[in-house]
């Protein structure tokens, strides 16, 4: 089958990759649509040096075979993290942090930049019939944005800022805007900030110590330093960016100002599906590429690039 394979250093398009076979408690999924995430680009820059395999973790697929026969033929999305079920994190309600977890397209498990993929059946979520595939593809990144609401008490009267004007920021800002908070989006590109203008205030320069909650959604190391500038004393910074390399910040500023710094990763799928189905979160259309043109897709200026099969 066709696949984009990462060998630990670079990615290659192949047509000879074997179609996987589903194991016990697994499903074989035919990929209908998969999408490129910033994390995939970071993999190419060395973010996951130990990983080899098929790349990609955002997909909508059709179940071909499954340990749960009622899923066969259904359209599904799937969670990335396959937990072991018996480590300290699994036993204490933190399966996303399982010490032995495998993550599709990122760690120990082939991903979805291929015609077929296998996945633990329990990680699948059925896509509602009324939700088009090209919108359901946003489930995973929206779920990750919703994780902030699981972690931080976002009061409706809170004054918050999102730093960044790209994809990640658009998911995060819409998730935060759902409860009517006073939201400012701080970006560098006026043309990208347009995407936010119907639900948030948009600026190219934030206010120093201007916000109780600041979310770094820049996807780059500079975001954290900016967040430290914009957050009020005793305020909260949520970091959504993941990148290869380190951020350099003055940590005593966090101590002296008693900041709360929260890292934030994967989130709940079912609420994300519901928000997309009801149209309460809306996103620009995905731009589709042929799998063999994956490099073009990775550098696409589109809001979201992906592959249809």
Q: Is 36 in the site for Zn ion (CB under 5 A)?
A: no
Count residues binding Zn ion (CB under 5 A): 6
Cβ closer to Zn ion: 142 or 185?
Answer: 142
CA 196 to chain centre: 19
How many whole angstroms separate alpha carbon 87 and alpha carbon 257?
Answer: 36
Report in angstroms the alpha-carbon separations of 207 from 6, 114, 231, 254. 42, 45, 9, 18
**With binding defined as CB under 5 A, does residue 305 bind Zn ion?**
no
Work out whether 108 is an interface residue with Zn ion (CB under 5 A).
no
| 266 in contact with Zn ion (CB under 5 A) | no
Contacts of 188 (CB under 8 A, 6+ apart): 165, 204
Q: Applying CB under 5 A, does 262 fall inside the site for Zn ion?
A: no
Stretch that binds Zn ion, among 45-53, 81-89, 113-121, 229-237 (CB under 5 A): 81-89
Q: Between 207 and 298, whose beta carbon lies closer to Zn ion?
A: 298
C-beta of residue 266 within 8 angstroms of C-beta of residue 242: no
Shortest distance in whole angstroms from residue 31 CB to Zn ion: 15
**What 8-state DSSP symbol labels residue 209?**
T
Residue 43 as a binder of Zn ion (CB under 5 A): the answer is no
Contact segment (CB under 5 A) with Zn ion among 22-30, 75-83, 112-120, 285-293 equals: 75-83
The two three-digit tokens of residue 262, written as one number? 């929260």
Q: Is residue 256 close enough to count as binding Zn ion by CB under 5 A?
A: no
- 245 Ramachandran zone, left/alpha/beta (phi>0; psi -120 to 50): left
Choose between 125 and 181: whose C-beta lies nearer to Zn ion: 125
- Does position 98 bind Zn ion by CB under 5 A? yes
- As given in the structure block, the two tokens for residue 282 are 């809306």
Give CA separation, 196 vs 48, 83, 162, 228, 287, in Å: 32, 36, 11, 23, 19
Nearer to Zn ion, 115 or 140 (CB): 140
Per CB under 5 A, which region of 43-51, 77-85, 165-173, 177-185 contacts Zn ion? Answer: 77-85
With binding defined as CB under 5 A, does residue 90 bind Zn ion? yes
Selected binder of Zn ion within 19, 44, 87, 249 (CB under 5 A): 87
CA proximity to 254, closest of 273, 237, 274, 271:
237
Per CB under 5 A, residues contacting Zn ion are: 37, 83-84, 87, 90, 98
């Amino acid at each position: 089958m066709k696949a984009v394979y990462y060998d630990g250093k670079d990615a290659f398009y192949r047509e000879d990759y074997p179609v996987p076979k589903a194991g016990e408690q697994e499903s074989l999924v035919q990929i209908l649509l998969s999408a490129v995430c910033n994390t995939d680009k970071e993999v190419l820059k060395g973010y996951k040096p130990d990983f080899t395999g098929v790349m990609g973790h955002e997909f909508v697929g059709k179940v071909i075979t499954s340990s749960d026969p009622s899923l066969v033929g259904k359209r599904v999305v799937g969670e990335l993290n396959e937990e072991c079920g018996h480590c300290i994190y699994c036993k204490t309600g933190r399966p996303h942090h399982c010490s032995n977890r495998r993550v599709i397209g990122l760690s120990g498990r082939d991903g979805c930049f291929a015609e077929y993929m296998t996945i633990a059946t329990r990680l699948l979520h059925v896509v509602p019939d009324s939700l088009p595939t090209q919108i359901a593809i946003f489930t995973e990144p929206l779920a990750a944005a919703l994780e902030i609401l699981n972690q931080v008490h976002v009061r409706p009267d809170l004054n918050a800022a999102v730093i960044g004007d790209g994809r990640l920021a658009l998911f995060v800002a819409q998730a935060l805007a759902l409860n009517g908070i006073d939201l400012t989006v701080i970006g560098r590109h006026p043309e990208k900030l347009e995407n936010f203008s119907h639900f948030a205030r948009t600026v190219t320069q934030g206010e120093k110590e201007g916000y109780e909650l600041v979310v770094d959604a820049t996807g780059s190391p500079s975001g954290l330093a900016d967040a430290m500038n914009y957050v009020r004393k005793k305020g909260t910074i949520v970091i959504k960016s993941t990148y290869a390399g380190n951020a350099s910040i003055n940590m005593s500023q966090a101590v002296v100002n008693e900041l709360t710094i929260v890292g934030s990763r994967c989130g709940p799928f079912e609420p994300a599906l519901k928000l997309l189905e009801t149209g309460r979160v809306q996103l620009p259309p995905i731009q589709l590429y042929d799998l063999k043109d994956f490099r073009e897709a990775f550098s696409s200026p589109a809001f979201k690039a992906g592959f249809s099969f």
